[in-house]
């Protein structure tokens, strides 16, 4: 039963959509509608873009000292922590991720990101260039202008923070569009931010079920940059659309990440890490370690224990703290994942465990799927090359280091990779040879505000987080002052 309605956040005020339209939000654990979100029209998006443009052009935000802008971000982080339980419950209800994950990962990460960028100062400072006298040369970093942020549904609050916080601290204004499949926690965040009292128009959060509304944000000549996270095909559409006015882009796209387990690994650590890499958030992660490259020496033993531990995972409603594995985001997405499993079987893969909709009255109405392990996979199969975005692990045997690296790099994607080994020489060698934007060694999923994340190849370009991610929201200006005595440099007398 629907209990709450959430409004848009435009020009400093919470407001309904202009046509009073709403779209439903469904709890993946139950299949029931639990909230409604204001469904922005093209006119609502136009108002948000105009508000952001005005706020940037009048300097109400960019002219503030960096520390002053930071105070707003720190205030937002404090409010997120105060509302942590409510936000975690909403994130769980909206996405189907377990309440353990929402409580202990998503909400703290969101708050920490706002706080971290709220304290950034020197990273935005300019510097003097060592050019010969009598010229003085300065490089300054300035905000780009109006930034459009667009995200998918799998990590709403974390990705909102990753895009909004660095864009704002750099002096930009923002129009942010969450996915219509998971907008509720972000629109609750909008309510929190409204109480902090940012200047009108500095941040606008606009949810919509219409692709046309999102396209308006990408197309608008009033918007100077798009930071997009989502599928590779959609990212290519964003590129084509933004090219009309040569808009700046950051694209964090799909992945088919290799998880390489060598025979000399810490067996238990690699076993647990492999499960986290594919089954965290039910595999609905762009960085999911969905290709397990397993060395032949330990193949049978490792696979046997992996299957046993996978079968022991408790599938259940996401809000239950005893649940290990919740539902997928929607019935449509579950159908797509099941179709990928069926296609893999047709190509010769074997279902070692899972692969079905689980039985039980408590699970009957939700969008559940058993965690799935496929064996007999070769790297040329679609299941090894196409992103499934679900709890499906393709296991591939390899002989030696050279073959492991070759298999890992044989992909159009290059977002992330894992390596499990005790050999420090192998760590250095393999990490350098892998074509991926982030390589985790003897761990999985370490994201830090201080370090960048982003992809190679069709996994996109640009970076989020770290100094590199912060600088994605700035543009560089060179200021050159000639101080020739008498004010008559050579150029003034050339002709």
Classify 198 as helix, strand or coil: coil
* Token pair 């720190």 in the structure block, residue: 74
Look up residue 300 and give its two tokens: 């049978």
Spatial distance between the Cα atoms of 281 and 142, rounded to a whole number of angstroms: 37
- Cα torsion angle, 377, 381, 384, 387, sign: negative
Asked about 121 being catalytic, the answer comes back as no
Out of 36, 91, 110, 286, the active site residue is: 286
| Residue ranges covered by each domain of the chain | 4-253+459-478, 258-441
Q: Cα-flanking dihedrals φ and ψ of residue 413, to 5°?
A: -100, 165
Task: Report whether 306 contacts 271 (CB < 8 A).
Answer: yes
Max distance between CA atoms of the chain, in angstroms, equals 89
- pLDDT at site 1: 44
Q: Where are the beta strands (DSSP E) in 11-108?
A: 13-15, 22-27, 32-38
Asked about 286 being catalytic, the answer comes back as yes
Q: Cα-flanking dihedrals φ and ψ of residue 323, to 5°?
A: -75, 130
Task: Report whether 333 contacts 367 (CB < 8 A).
Answer: yes
Task: Report whether 218 contacts 229 (CB < 8 A).
Answer: no
Over the stretch 347-381, which tens digit does the pLDDT of each residue have?
Answer: 999 999 999 999 999 899 999 999 999 999 999 99
Out of 252, 370, 464, 472, the active site residue is: 252
Over the stretch 100-150, which tens digit does the pLDDT of each residue have?
Answer: 999 999 999 999 999 999 999 889 999 999 999 999 999 999 999 999 999
Pairing of strands 22-27, 32-38: antiparallel
What's the fold here for domain 4-253+459-478? Aldehyde Dehydrogenase; Chain A, domain 1 (3.40.605)
Task: Report whether 224 contacts 53 (CB < 8 A).
Answer: no
As its CATH architecture, domain 258-441 has: 3-Layer(aba) Sandwich (3.40)
Residues of the chain with pLDDT under 50: 1-2
- pLDDT at site 35: 97
Alpha carbon distance, N-terminus to C-terminus of the chain = 80
Closest CA to 445 of 286, 333, 332: 286
């Amino acid at each position: 039963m629907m209990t709450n309605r959430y409004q848009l956040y435009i020009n400093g005020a919470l407001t309904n959509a202009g046509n009073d339209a709403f779209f439903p939000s469904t709890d993946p654990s139950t299949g029931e509608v639990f909230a409604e979100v204001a469904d922005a029209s093209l006119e609502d998006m136009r108002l948000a873009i105009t508000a952001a443009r005005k706020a940037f052009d009048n300097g109400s935000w960019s002219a503030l000292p960096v520390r002053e802008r930071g105070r707003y971000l720190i205030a937002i982080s404090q409010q997120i922590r105060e509302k942590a339980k409510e936000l975690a419950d909403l994130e769980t209800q909206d996405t189907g991720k377990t309440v353990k994950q929402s409580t202990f990962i998503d909400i703290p990460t969101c708050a920490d990101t706002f706080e971290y960028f709220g304290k950034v100062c020197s990273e935005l400072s300019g510097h003097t260039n060592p050019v010969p006298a009598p010229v003085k040369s300065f490089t300054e970093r300035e905000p780009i202008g109006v930034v459009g942020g667009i995200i998918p549904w799998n990590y709403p609050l974390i990705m909102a923070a990753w895009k909004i916080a660095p864009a704002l601290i750099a002096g930009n204004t923002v129009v942010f569009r969450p996915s219509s499949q998971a907008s509720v926690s972000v629109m609750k965040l909008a309510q929190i931010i409204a109480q902090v009292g940012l200047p009108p128009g500095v941040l606008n959060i606009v949810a919509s079920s219409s692709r046309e509304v999102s396209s308006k944000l990408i197309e608008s000549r009033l918007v100077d940059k798009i930071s997009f996270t989502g599928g590779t095909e959609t990212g290519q559409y964003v590129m084509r659309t933004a090219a009309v006015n040569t808009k700046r882009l950051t694209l964090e796209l799909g992945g088919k990440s290799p998880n390489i387990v060598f025979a000399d690994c810490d067996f238990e650590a690699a076993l647990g890490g492999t499960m986290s890499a594919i089954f965290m958030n039910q595999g609905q992660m762009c960085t999911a370690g969905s290709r397990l490259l397993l060395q032949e020496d330990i193949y049978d033993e490792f696979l046997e224990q992996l299957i046993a531990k996978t079968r022991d995972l408790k599938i259940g409603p996401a809000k239950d703290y005893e649940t290990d594995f919740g539902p997928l985001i929607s019935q449509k997405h579950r159908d797509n994942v099941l179709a990928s499993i069926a296609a893999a079987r047709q190509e010769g893969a074997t279902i070692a465990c899972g692969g079905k909709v689980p039985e039980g009255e408590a699970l009957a109405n939700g969008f559940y799927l058993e965690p799935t392990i496929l064996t007999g996979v070769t790297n040329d199969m679609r299941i090894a090359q196409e992103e499934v975005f679900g709890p499906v692990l393709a296991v591939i045997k390899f002989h030696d280091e050279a073959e492991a690296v070759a298999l890992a790099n044989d992909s159009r994607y290059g977002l992330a990779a894992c390596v499990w080994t005790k050999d420090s020489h192998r760590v250095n060698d393999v990490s350098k040879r892998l074509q991926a934007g982030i390589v985790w060694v003897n761990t999985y999923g370490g994201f830090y505000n201080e370090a960048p994340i982003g992809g190679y190849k069709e996994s996109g370009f640009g970076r989020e987080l770290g100094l590199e991610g912060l600088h994605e929201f700035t543009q560089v200006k060179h200021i050159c002052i000639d101080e020739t005595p008498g004010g008559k440099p050579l150029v003034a007398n050339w002709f």
